[in-house]
Amino acid sequence: MTTNTQIIGKKVIEDYIKAFNERNAIKMADLFNFPHVRFANDSVSVITKSEYLENQDKVTKLLMNENWDHTEIKDIQHIQSNDTKAHFIIHFLRLDKNNKVIHDFKTFWIVTNINSHWGIQFRSSFLTSMAATFGKKI
């Protein structure tokens, strides 16, 4: 039970980063469960699927302003899970085209199973970046 949830959750995260690097907004959104909650840059945001999709061109521009080329997963640590939810600590590197680190940060993600769909529903990050800010602040 927990091992299967752990494997599924890790795959969702890996698939999301692949879509993120491709800047494929539809694939990224399909790997979320909505409403999506994000805690970054000292604020909490809640976002719907349509808002998420509408913001991706802006996010791409902000990433390019930071000379971002791709993001790598340095480590994924499963913390706990049950049949419908898994918690992970992820260590990410945002890199430029020469593989120089732009951002090196850890983040806490919750992957949930809602209506038989596994998706990322919550992210809390220590990343400080304008490309980490969007959604309705609460």
Q: What is the pLDDT of residues 33-60, one digit of tens each?
A: 999 999 887 888 899 999 999 999 999 9
Rounded Cα distance, 87 and 79, in Å: 5
Rounded Cα distance, 135 and 120, in Å: 15
Q: How confident is the model at residue 135 (pLDDT cuts 50, 70, 90)?
A: low
Rounded Cα distance, 121 and 37, in Å: 6
To the nearest whole percent, how much of the chain has pLDDT over 90?
83
Range of lowest pLDDT (10-19, 36-45, 127-136): 127-136
CA distances from 4 to 78, 123, 129, 138 (A): 12, 21, 33, 34
For domain 2-137, give its CATH number from 2.40.30.10, 3.40.50.300, 3.10.450.50, 3.40.1260.10. 3.10.450.50
Domains of the chain, by residue range, sit at 2-137
The pTM of the full predicted model, rounded to 2 decimals, is 0.91
